Amino acid sequence: QQQVKQSPQSLIVQKGGISIINCAYENTAFDYFPWYQQFPGKGPALLIAIRPDVSEKKEGRFTISFNKSAKQFSLHIMDSQPGDSATYFCAASPTGTASKLTFGTGTRLQVTL
Amino acid sequence: GAVVSQHPSWVICKSGTSVKIECRSLDFQATTMFWYRQFPKQSLMLMATSNEGSKATYEQGVEKDKFLINHASLTLSTLTVTSAHPEDSSFYICSPRLAGVPDTQYFGPGTRLTVL
């Protein structure tokens, strides 16, 4: 019940295309859903996060879509650029300062020219 | 976003020695600090959670006597890997949480530990 399932494991997208990464969760107590971007040898960087009171959140080229009934959320990267090539992790946690994030397994994105 | 620093960024040590990793939240106070370990091409594994001034809570399978965590202040936490062995070689990442509405969790740049 604590798992967050992420797919695909890897993704190749042409420059200018849309990258879509999906995550699904089981624990209905989760109410914070962040996405992290990680470049090789670096720590994860918070990209965008959503709470279940909205179905979509957009920040620049990055959009989170959230489907509470299906317990799924996804990251869309519009106009993908080679600089977006990185590993992306979805995560989820319940509310609370000491609540632990449960991470997905990661998606390695490669944006080609 | 918040600024989190880790020192050192990489370290190589001999088997049996101890290594201390410092994590600082430079522009906010972290009520809770998480420490993660990440092996190559894998996801992040939570090692322990600590609150300022109190003992850390370790995840199952993580030896508390081997991985000493000190959360001395709201801006500083340290992880000491004692008597390091080659299997402890990994990427260690601290993650301070900024309390608020909503809470936001940030990550440090990580420390690459190689034990020879």
> How far is the alpha carbon of B44 from chain A, nearest alpha carbon, in Å?
7
Taking alpha carbons only, the member of A80, A50, A45, A79 closest to residue A65 is A50
The answer to whether the CB atoms of B103 and A97 lie below 8 A apart is yes
- For the four alpha carbons of A81, A84, A86 and A91, in that order, the dihedral sign comes to negative
pLDDT of residue A95: 76
Torsion of CA A51, B39, B106, A47, to 10 degrees: -60
> In a 3-state reduction of DSSP, which class is residue A84?
helix
Report whether A100 contacts A107 (CB < 8 A). no
What Å distances lie between residue B8 and A44, B11, B19, B59, B111, CA to CA?
17, 7, 10, 24, 6
Instruction: In whole angstroms, give the CA distance from residue A65 to residue A67.
Output: 7
pLDDT of residue B53: 78
Q: How confident is the model at residue A94 (pLDDT cuts 50, 70, 90)?
A: confident
Instruction: In whole angstroms, give the CA distance from residue B9 to residue B94.
Output: 12
The DSSP symbol for B59 reads P
pLDDT at B98 over 90: no
Report whether A38 contacts A91 (CB < 8 A). no
pLDDT of residue A2: 65
Instruction: In whole angstroms, give the CA distance from residue B81 to residue A7.
Output: 34
Residue of chain A nearest B91, judged by CA positions: A41
Q: Which helix (H) or strand (E) holds B13?
A: strand B10-13
pLDDT of residue A79: 98
pLDDT at A28 over 80: yes
Question: Looking at chain A from residue 13 to 52, which residues have their Cβ under 8 Å from any Cβ of chain B?
Answer: 32, 34, 36, 41-46, 49, 51
Instruction: In whole angstroms, give the CA distance from residue B37 to residue B60.
Output: 14
> How far is the alpha carbon of B82 from chain A, nearest alpha carbon, in Å?
23
Q: How many A/B residue pairs have CB atoms within 8 Å? A: 59
Taking alpha carbons only, the member of B56, B75, B55, B73 closest to residue B5 is B75
Q: Are strands A107-112 and A10-14 parallel, antiparallel or unpaired?
A: parallel
Backbone angles phi, psi at B107, to 5 degrees: -130, 145
Instruction: In whole angstroms, give the CA distance from residue B8 to residue B113.
Output: 9
Residue of chain B nearest A89, judged by CA positions: B43
Q: Any idea which of A94-108, B35-49, B80-94 has the lowest mean pLDDT?
A: A94-108
Residue of chain A nearest B32, judged by CA positions: A98
What residues in B contact A95, CB-CB < 8 Å? 102-103
pLDDT at A98 over 70: no
**Facing A105 at nearest CB: one of B43, B46, B112:** B43
What residues in A contact B102, CB-CB < 8 Å? 32, 49, 51, 95
pLDDT of residue A97: 60
A97 to chain B, any CB pair closer than 8 A? The answer is yes
